Amino acid sequence: MSTIFGEGWKLRPSQLIGTFGPGSIYDNLKDSILILGTDSWREQNCKRLQEESLLLYLKNSGNRMYSRLSKFLVPVSKGKHDQHIPIKTFPRWGVCSVCHILQLRDRSVGEDGIKCKSNECPGRTGRGTRKAPETIPVRFIMACINGHLDDFPWYRWVHRGRITNCNEQSARMYLLEDPSISSLESKTVECRNCDRRENMATALAPKGMRYVLPEGCHGKRPWLTTDDSQQCLHNGEVIFPQGLYKGSTNVYFPSTVRSITVPPLTGELAEKVLAKIEGTDLLTMSVEDLRKFIPHFFTGEDPQVVLELIRAIKEKRSSKEQPDIRAQEYNELNLRRYPSRGVDVDDFKTEPIELPENFSEYLDNLVLVRKLREVVAITGFYRIMPPGSEEDDNRFPSPITNYPNQLPEWLPAVENRGEGIFFTIKESKMKEWEKQDDVRKRFQQVLKKRKVSSLIQEKFEISPRYLLLHSLSHLLIKEIGNFAGYSTSSMRERIYSRDGMAGILIYTSSPSSDGSLGGLVEQGKKPQFNLMMQKALRKSKICSMDPLCAFSKPGIGNRRNGSACHACLFLPETSCECMNDLLDRSFVQQTLSTRIGFFG
């Protein structure tokens, strides 16, 4: 086991709850490594993040995995050579760059652990291994849809069938390549102990391992300290692993939850109160006792403000129901209660903007979010297929700690700060549109009678209004990217869709202290927003891929989409909360194929 440190291994905290979270493979010029689970992390190398709503959302979700959850932690680096994130070499197999022999490698024992050990290697220039060439990590690994991970079974791949004259200890395997062929057929595994050889042509096929590992997946979890003790099944059937390239995007799909911090529990004082009450009796004290103790616990702070914060925390924690995070955010972002002044509380600052005349018939509210704080936590990950790819996909995220033997007490998280634009659509107008028979018919075609489950962690109804809001959000993000100074991949969406809720938050955030250049907020002002909406709606009518896009059959393949493609609606998957699922520009504006668009 080793740890990430120095220039060659440096990762940003945001990467550790995303692309390179626990259970992922990180490949660079030095080595190929596996990020280990939180059961191997050191809490003293992390900083605590306060986000009460997100914490209670997970604790009260009914999932046993989060029953002991008490905090979020973010790894911090205090110096150039700080050791803080545990890793280990993976895949363990390497191939010599000179003689092409396959052998196990382990950087944890030093540089000799990755040197070629073959006495027949022509690259060796002296005794021992120090003069030997380095072995390069192989590109092939093995994983299953339940998240298990293992080395590619080189011995069993080349020694198929009955073996009597060779074993794993005596096998001398080589990975050879024909430079005249560019496909997988160019690679061949050869055992020079028994003269067996096998082509790699079917190594990455979905069913390529069925005859190599007829017993199925072994349930290996090398990122944790324990393997899965349960038989690996999916819908009651034995799971067979699949060969993959270690750098493939389908090796790791992080599962995250996120929350926008809203009043009253926002700002430094709220974080201070949340930190101080842990391990004390403040939440059980009467108001009279609190008035006595608050000045001693919170010197220099307004006792009445602190008292209100304690009351808010107590009220949240006394409820056993799962908090509705999006409803809380929507209520604070929606400025109908205070349309003339907005909110300015530490990390949450909003400003109401007059609606453009062209859209006053449709829009109910337009708000500039000048400051926001977002907390993102990783809860697990998926492999091979993202969640929701199949109609009967009932998989749970693969754990980042030794679950079910160990219930996690904390999750890795990161806090981002930024800015955004929030607007709502008139509820009366939305309900009138949703009642149309053609709208409902199109919605059922898009869903194609599949389960209404998506990648969105928070539970809310997927309905025609969701497809409308989601598609409009994508159109605007693409348009804003041309003017705001941010790329589309740096912006995110948050859709508020339910009876009584119809809003869109488009925002950008980063882990830096500022997290904002002001460019996005500028596009939310009346003239710019009016122009942007007009351009977005104009582009929703005609796609450069029309008529193919407009007349594409809804609900085809794994996607629940209608008229949607890369030319008109698809965004980088980091920007979309559904990985480009549940989109149809026909709901926004009339197209060549339909006339059901909300905006005409």
Kindly state whether residues 546 and 520 are assigned to the same domain: yes
In terms of Cβ atoms closer than 10 Å to its own Cβ (0-12, 13-18, 19+), residue 575 is: buried
State the residue range of the domain holding 126: 2-52+68-254
Instruction: Look at 290 and 235; give whichever has higher pLDDT.
Output: 290
Kindly state whether residues 175 and 288 are assigned to the same domain: no
Instruction: Give the total number of structural domains in the chain.
Output: 3
**Which residues, listed in sequence order, are joined to residue 501 by a DSSP beta bridge?**
498
Kindly state whether residues 461 and 561 are assigned to the same domain: yes
In terms of Cβ atoms closer than 10 Å to its own Cβ (0-12, 13-18, 19+), residue 169 is: exposed
Closest by CA to 22, choosing from 547, 410, 373, is: 410
Tell me which H or E stretch contains 289.
helix 287-297
Give the pLDDT confidence of 333-387 residue by residue, as tens digits: 987 655 667 888 888 999 999 899 889 999 999 999 999 999 999 999 999 988 8
Average pLDDT over residues 407-436: 94
Q: Tell me what pLDDT residue 153 has.
A: 94
Instruction: Look at 584 and 119; give whichever has higher pLDDT.
Output: 584
- Among residues 238, 254, 270, which one ends one of the domains? 254
pLDDT at 453 over 60: no
pLDDT at 276 over 90: no
Q: Tell me what pLDDT residue 5 has.
A: 46
- Among residues 205, 238, 254, which one ends one of the domains? 254
User: For the chain, what is the mean pLDDT?
Assistant: 86
Kindly state whether residues 473 and 537 are assigned to the same domain: yes
In a domain, 38, yes or no: yes
pLDDT at 456 over 50: no
Q: Tell me what pLDDT residue 363 has.
A: 94
Kindly state whether residues 234 and 263 are assigned to the same domain: no
Kindly state whether residues 437 and 331 are assigned to the same domain: yes
In a domain, 90, yes or no: yes
Q: Tell me what pLDDT residue 3 has.
A: 47
Closest by CA to 176, choosing from 188, 184, 167, is: 188
In a domain, 597, yes or no: no
Kindly state whether residues 212 and 329 are assigned to the same domain: no
- Among residues 234, 254, 274, which one ends one of the domains? 254
pLDDT at 220 over 90: yes
Closest by CA to 366, choosing from 506, 571, 508, 260, is: 506
Tokens 């629940």 sit on residue: 560
d(C-alpha 197, C-alpha 447), whole Å: 48
- Edge to edge, what strands does the sheet with 102-104 contain? 102-104, 93-96, 135-137
Average pLDDT over residues 60-79: 85
Q: Which residues contact 311 (CB under 8 A, 6 or more apart)?
A: none
User: What's 285's DSSP letter?
Assistant: S
Give the pLDDT confidence of 126-164 residue by residue, as tens digits: 666 667 888 899 999 999 999 999 999 999 999 887 777
Q: Tell me what pLDDT residue 338 has.
A: 57
pLDDT at 479 over 70: yes
In a domain, 134, yes or no: yes
Residue type, 406: Q
**Which residues, listed in sequence order, are joined to residue 313 by a DSSP beta bridge?**
none
Kindly state whether residues 209 and 275 are assigned to the same domain: no
Q: Tell me what pLDDT residue 174 has.
A: 95
**Tokens (6 digits) for 236:** 């009651």
Residue type, 582: L
In a domain, 205, yes or no: yes
Exposed e or buried b per residue across 104-143, where buried means at least 16 C-beta atoms within 10 angstroms of its C-beta: ebebeeeeebbbbbbeebeebeeeebeebbbbbbbbbbbb
Kindly state whether residues 279 and 138 are assigned to the same domain: no
Helix, strand, coil content of the chain in percent (nearest 5)? 25, 25, 50
Closest by CA to 488, choosing from 502, 472, 468, 506, is: 506
Give the pLDDT confidence of 496-531 residue by residue, as tens digits: 999 999 999 999 988 765 456 678 888 889 899 999
In a domain, 593, yes or no: no
d(C-alpha 370, C-alpha 151), whole Å: 48
Kindly state whether residues 314 and 458 are assigned to the same domain: no
d(C-alpha 176, C-alpha 30), whole Å: 23
User: What's 114's DSSP letter?
Assistant: G
Give the pLDDT confidence of 294-347 residue by residue, as tens digits: 888 888 888 899 888 888 888 888 888 888 899 999 999 987 655 667 888 888
Sign of the Cα pseudo-torsion (521, 527, 531, 534, in order): positive
Kindly state whether residues 84 and 169 are assigned to the same domain: yes
In a domain, 408, yes or no: no
Coil, helix or strand at residue 38: helix
Exposed e or buried b per residue across 317-351, where buried means at least 16 C-beta atoms within 10 angstroms of its C-beta: eeeeeebbbbebbbebbbbeeeeeebbebebbbbb
Lowest mean pLDDT among 264-278, 475-489, 550-564, 566-580: 550-564
- Model confidence, pTM: 0.89
Kindly state whether residues 491 and 515 are assigned to the same domain: yes
Whether a cis peptide bond, with omega within 30° of 0, leads into 75 is no
In degrees, to the nearest 5, what angle opens at C-alpha 332 toward C-alphas 274 and 464? 125
Q: Tell me what pLDDT residue 455 has.
A: 39
State the CB neighbour count (10 A cutoff) for residue 511.
15
**Which residues, listed in sequence order, are joined to residue 93 by a DSSP beta bridge?**
104
